[in-house]
Amino acid sequence: MAGWSCLVTGGGGFLGQRIVHLLVEEKELQEIRVLDKVFRPEVREEFSKLQSKIRLTLLEGDILDEQCLKEACQGASVVIHTASVIDVMNAVQRETIMNVNVRGTQLLLETCVQASVPVFIHTSTIEVAGPNSYREIIQDGHEEEHLETAWSSPYPYSKKLAEKAVLGANGWALKNGGTLYTCALRPMYIYGEGSPLLYAHVDSALKNNGILSHHCKFSRVNPVYVGNVAWAHILASRALRDPQKAPSIQGQFYYISDGTPHQSYDDLNYTLGKEWGLCLDSGMSLPVSLKYWLAFLLEIVSFLLSPIYKYRPPFNCHLITLSNSVFTFSYKKAQRELGYEPLFTWEEAKQKTKEWVGSLVKQHKETLKTKTH
């Protein structure tokens, strides 16, 4: 596909930025369009540096704005759809999450048909597969197991519906007589420099004498580095544009992990922060079963109070399950069909992320110094 162009939705986000950086190196790519609701000043600055290498167009707009999508998709050859609302705390209204994650994806697919965009890659999540119970053990899970989340919590539920819409759209007829080809990537928990979740953990620890919260010690997961997830998107876009490879990839989903060791979320946070004086809370931790029932009771209280008062529990059943399950997945199918091999080793990923955590700690210390003077 000589002289192709690519639209990245959510391109100003944690993963989106990394995809844009890797796209710059792609052969015969003429333009990258980056759509996001808002671009932070530092992101704009970062992208302006890339404009000497490639035509890079920033589009500020809403995924639910049909006119905006129409302009963004016009003449595009590939859409990489990373835009979504991520929320495990039920902090965002259900309606907002369903609108952005489901309706936004459907609108984008419909726009691709009208604009005759032939390739659509969707960033899904491991959460569409589960875990459904902290007692269930999934180790080295794979695509043939057809695991599916049973949660009605807005985030996993909306992402499940969005992924189904994308894979169901594979083979749709385009306005110009062509065909739409789609696939979805399901990354594990993503870490790396700029991770909003890791930032929240570090920030909370710094406000608590360097003590990292210790709520996830029973989990066993295989987190994935952001650079490797971005690389999987690049390979998927190459494969779907390749007439030889495309037929086996169309309408498929892929688990994306890497060489990061299987560990608990707590251990990952500790590994990335210990060099900077961050340590795990050594206090006693409640048994998971007790935490789960406590979460269940709090959810009932929240429901009963809802007509008169909006009470948001500090944790919920879905979060307890997510944080305390054995849930790991293999990337063999992506390796086989997309040619995916992690671009960054665990050592490289760990080093880069540690340096970023170090910069947060340094920033915090400087802020404290300024306040005391």
Rounded to whole angstroms, the Cα distance separating 33 from 24 reads: 11
Please tell me the predicted confidence (pLDDT) of residue 2. Answer: 62
Query: Residue 209: what are its φ and ψ, rounded to 5°?
Result: 55, 30
Please tell me the predicted confidence (pLDDT) of residue 153. Answer: 94
Please tell me the predicted confidence (pLDDT) of residue 359. Answer: 96
CB 296 within 8 A of CB 101: no
pLDDT in single tens digits along all 373 residues of the chain: 468 999 999 999 999 999 999 999 999 999 999 999 999 999 999 999 999 899 999 999 999 999 999 999 999 999 999 999 999 888 899 999 999 999 999 999 999 999 999 999 999 999 999 999 999 999 999 999 999 999 999 999 999 999 999 999 999 999 999 999 999 999 999 999 999 999 999 999 999 999 998 888 889 999 999 999 999 999 999 999 999 999 999 999 999 999 999 999 999 999 999 999 999 988 888 899 999 999 999 999 999 999 999 899 999 999 999 999 999 999 999 999 999 999 999 999 999 999 999 999 999 988 888 877 6
Please tell me the predicted confidence (pLDDT) of residue 134. Answer: 95
- 74 vs 32, 67, 204, CA distance in Å? 12, 11, 43
Residues near 48 by Cβ (< 8 Å), separated by ≥ 6? none
Per-domain residue ranges of the chain: 4-195+222-261+328-344
Please tell me the predicted confidence (pLDDT) of residue 284. Answer: 81
4-195+222-261+328-344: CATH topology: Rossmann fold (3.40.50)
Please tell me the predicted confidence (pLDDT) of residue 246. Answer: 94
Query: Could you confirm whether 155 is annotated as catalytic?
Result: yes
Rounded to whole angstroms, the Cα distance separating 197 from 192 reads: 10
Name the catalytic one among 155, 191, 254, 255.
Answer: 155
In this structure, which amino acid lies at residue 81? Answer: H
Prediction pTM value: 0.96
